[in-house]
Structure 1
Amino acid sequence: MPLSRRLLRRIFISTGIACLTVFSAALLCDRWVASSTTSHIHRDINTLPAHDIALVLGANPLTQGRPNLFFTSRIDTAATLYSSGKVRHFIVSGDNHTVEYDEPTAMHDALISRGIPASSITLDYAGFRTLDSVLRARDVFGQSRFIIISQEFHCARALFIAHANNIDAIAYPAPDIRGKAGLTVRARETLARTLAVLDTHILNTAPHFPGPPEPIQLAATDH
């Protein structure tokens, strides 16, 4: 029996209201993450407080067989902080779900190629999500105060997660990537921020692999 026009109209209106509600909630989460973290993002290296530890968030070193500009930008920024004496030691945290896909090792090798000693780099192979990377920096590597390095839109979400878990983090953003790639990533970020709000304020999500403690011992060569 075909649906009546009245019922179809009700379904259409209800669906529209539900979509509008979800869209509005996502925008509110996006603005909450941005507004609550902006004062903790330092854009001037001269006024950036020095820290022992910086957390470099992972990215695929290649995209469609070509160098990933997000990855290169983060590595260059990390190297700049090290050479400027703002950071002594890095945690490079990313995904390593297969032998062929290994973000932490790629970051490690890229930093070494820029003159960072291996003793100043700790690899976190279980940074599957930003939440994992941030919480494991504290729970596994014993760090509750550090600088986050990524693009600014990503830094905001990482800071939101850190502060919701009482981690004293600030961020120094790598240059953003313009063009189509940047727009696509930024659109996805709105959804990721909504999930970050759910993870930290409703679900109380823990890292996928909490791992045994492996506290970082700063080497004498860590300047």
Structure 2
Amino acid sequence: MKRVFVYGIVLPLLLCCMGILFCNYRITCYAKGRVFTDTASIPCNKVGLLLGTSPRLKGGRSNPYFDNRINAAVALYNAGKVKYILISGDNRRHNYNEPQAMKDSLLRRGVPKEVLVLDFAGLRTLDSVVRSKEIFGQDSITVISQQFHNERAIFLAHHYEMEAIGYNAEDVGTQEGFKTQVRELFARVKVYVDFFTNKQPRHLGEKIEIPE
């Protein structure tokens, strides 16, 4: 009975935990030196890839992840470190449009509409990163999101033969962002699963040119 418990329950759980920690460690380590928290030190790129999220939480409150990403995108653009902002997010459901919500918020903050490019098929981070290359023609991007998200996007970009750095939006407190942090651990495991299965974006399509 003891052997069954060890080999049937404890060992698989231990291997699972080790796998999660390994994936998290590899992604974090690769992103070191590629994520930035101030506009003075970050290199310039033509395009900043702003990763989408909902403007509101389930209870109707403002989503701090959304607000902080908008703040980061505005700061990066105003510092002259990106010429265009490619807003990539989910638009699958009726009355739910992450890219448009982000565009509206950026316009209210004074970012010119001609520098905003919308990608309505950024259903996952993988989709957003790969589409920035395959559809929008970018081999080098600055990802704009929270640090944990930037690290994963940078790792994905490397796999798909892109150069990427990240500009970190302000994170959310541990208590408020606990579920997101736990979900991120499993999202990083999914990165390796996607690599193994050669996962591709759900939608590709015709190329869209971002002017020089």
User: What percent of counterpart residues are identical?
Assistant: 36
**Given the alignment of the two structures, is residue 16 of structure 1 paired with residue 2 of structure 2, yes or no?**
no
Indicate conservation of the 8 Å contact 2:127/2:201, yes or no. yes
1:10 Cα deviation (Å)?
4.1
The equivalent of 1:117 in structure 2 is: 112
How many residue pairs match? The answer is 210
Pick one of 49, 52, 70 that aligns with 1:55.
49
TM-score (norm. length: structure 1): 0.91
Unmatched 5+ stretches in structure 1: 1-5, 219-223
Among candidates 52, 60, 68, match of residue 63 of structure 2:
68
1:221 is aligned to: none
Q: CA deviation at 1:198?
A: 2.0
The offset of 1:51, in angstroms, is: 1.3
- Partners in 2 of 1:179 and 1:23 — Cα distance? 21
TM-score (norm 2): 0.95
Give 1:204's match in structure 2, choosing from 198, 202, 207: 198
Aligned to 1:142: 137
RMSD: 1.1
For the residue of structure 2 that corresponds to 1:92, the secondary structure is strand
Partner residue, 1:37? 31
State the shift of 1:172 in Å: 0.7
Distance 2:209 2:197 in 1: 27
Q: Does 2:96 correspond to 1:101?
A: yes
In the alignment, does 2:182 pair up with 1:187? yes
Preserved contact between residue 39 and residue 75 of structure 2 (Cα < 8 Å):
no
1:44, distance to aligned residue in structure 2 (A): 2.7
Tell me which structure has the larger Cα radius of gyration.
Answer: 1
Q: Give the secondary-structure state (helix, strand or coil) at the position aligned to 1:132.
A: helix
Question: Does residue 151 of structure 1 match 2:115?
Answer: no
Query: Which of 19, 29, 32 is matched with 1:25 structurally?
Result: 19
Tell me the secondary structure at the aligned position of residue 104 of structure 2: helix
Structure 2 unaligned regions, length at least 5: none
Secondary structure at the counterpart of residue 66 of structure 1: coil
State yes or no: 1:164 paired with 2:156.
no
